[in-house]
Amino acid sequence: MNPIDIINKYYRSGSRAYEILIRHSKQVTRKALDAAKKVPQLNPDLDFIKEAAMLHDIGIFLTNTHELGCKGKMPYICHGYLGREILEKIGLQRHALVCERHIGVGITTEDIKNYALPLPKRDMLPVSIEEQIICFADKFFSKNRDSLKKEKSVEDIKQYLKPYGLEKVKRFQSWVDMFMG
Ligand SMILES: [Fe+2]
């Protein structure tokens, strides 16, 4: 399976959204493969990571995020579960879960209630090692133009997670220990 062929079905090649999506997804793929190398004992599926990291944000075009060239109707935070729906329709159930479970360091039903998030009420936490690796790698790269190129520092990411609770920061740190150690 070539993830670019799938992206091409939903994005016009050369469009702003397409360029941003491809660049971001390649950055995340590279970081995810680096992370996977740190945990050979857990046998992460590298071919799956390559595909799923390229597809994890496929749902963004359905959101109303003009700075990313996305002119859909839904709030940005919905791009995870919307991506899941897209990939499930074409039979990629396992990749679909990566889409749904990569927002922040994972979202719980409690988070959805507490912050009144516009999401289906279910846990959206990365479970498999591949889901965890891709969620982790994604945190290092913004899709905004100004910060598109450079990788965020671990400290920056922790500061960003802090308002969502110490549990989030701790989960991220546990990944730092696993995937960067
Ligand atoms: Fe995303």
CA of 57 from ligand 1 middle (Å) equals 5
What per-residue confidence (pLDDT) applies to 150? 85
CA of 52 from ligand 1 middle (Å) equals 12
Q: Which domain holds residue 164?
A: 3-179
Contacts of 37 (CB under 8 A, 6+ apart): none
What per-residue confidence (pLDDT) applies to 148? 61
Q: Which two tokens stand for residue 173?
A: 């740190």
- In the chain, the number of structural domains is 1
What per-residue confidence (pLDDT) applies to 146? 63
Q: Averaged over 121-133, what is the pLDDT?
A: 98
Q: Averaged over 71-85, what is the pLDDT?
A: 98
* Dist CA 135 CA 148 (whole Å): 18
CATH code for position 87: 1.10.3210
